[in-house]
């Protein structure tokens, strides 16, 4: 397991953009499948986006596919979730999650073995 920390959340108006970051202590994300999940008020945690071990392949939940982008920086020390055209229904606690593996990432939270503490994103109409 690795220690992860999210940053970049906040409160914005509908239509705005935010970029979340996820950093790990003591290393990088090379050979890690990485993902973002979110949990809205009164809802179960749900898959948002993921990328495979080198970031070449990405996967998205349908409602964010054309608005969110998951990526990692060139040094693979940060994972990003760029969020555009935010909607009130995007309001949630956002979590980054990783697993050291060569297999494609899954959309189920129990597959990931390291999680951040989460960061709040609030979108008002």
Strands (DSSP E) contained in 10-124 are 10-13, 18-24, 32-39, 46-51, 58-60, 68-72, 78-83, 92-100, 114-115, 119-124
Q: How far is CA 22 from the centre of its chain?
A: 8
pLDDT of residue 41: 93
Whether the per-residue pLDDT at 55 is higher than 90: the answer is: no
Q: What would the pLDDT profile of 62-73 be if each residue is shown by its tens digit?
A: 999 999 999 998
Whether the per-residue pLDDT at 26 is higher than 90: the answer is: no
Window from 5-9, 52-56, 121-125 with minimum mean pLDDT: 52-56
């Amino acid at each position: 397991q690795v220690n992860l920390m999210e940053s970049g959340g906040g409160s914005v108006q509908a239509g705005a953009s935010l970029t979340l970051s996820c950093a790990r202590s003591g290393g990088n994300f090379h050979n890690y499948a990485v993902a973002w999940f979110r949990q809205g008020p009164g809802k179960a945690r749900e898959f948002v986006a993921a990328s495979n071990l080198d970031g070449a392949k990405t996967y998205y939940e349908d409602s964010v596919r054309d608005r969110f982008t998951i990526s990692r920086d060139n040094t693979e020390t940060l994972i990003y979730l760029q969020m555009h055209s935010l909607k009130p229904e995007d309001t949630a606690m956002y979590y980054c999650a990783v697993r050291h593996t060569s297999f494609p990432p899954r959309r189920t939270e129990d597959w990931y073995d390291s999680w951040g503490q989460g960061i709040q994103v609030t979108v008002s109409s």
